[in-house]
Amino acid sequence: MKKSAKQALRAKTAEELNAEAGQLAGDQLKARLSTTLEGKRLGIRTRGSRRQIARINTLLRERELAAKAKAN
């Protein structure tokens, strides 16, 4: 992933990140259903969306830990 894409993720608020993760998870579900029902192949999109969700969750966790450390 390019640095500019990572910076764009870091610039977003927690609500925006949660919304994007939810949208990606919904897209993953739709892709899995279409694979099952229509026999379409998922391809590389699945891996990319799974990794993007992981990146978002990592950023959210980093922010959570930073806020907790700041409070102490």
Give the per-residue pLDDT at 32: 87
Tell me how many domains the chain contains.
1
Domain ranges, residue 29: 3-71
H helix or E strand, kind and range, residue 43: none
Mean pLDDT, rounded, for 31-49: 83
> What pLDDT sits at residue 36?
84
Report pLDDT for 21: 96
Residue 12 gets which letter from DSSP?
A: S
Query: End-to-end distance of the chain based on CA atoms, in angstroms?
Result: 33
Per cent of the chain over pLDDT 70 is 99
Q: What is the mean pLDDT of the chain?
A: 90
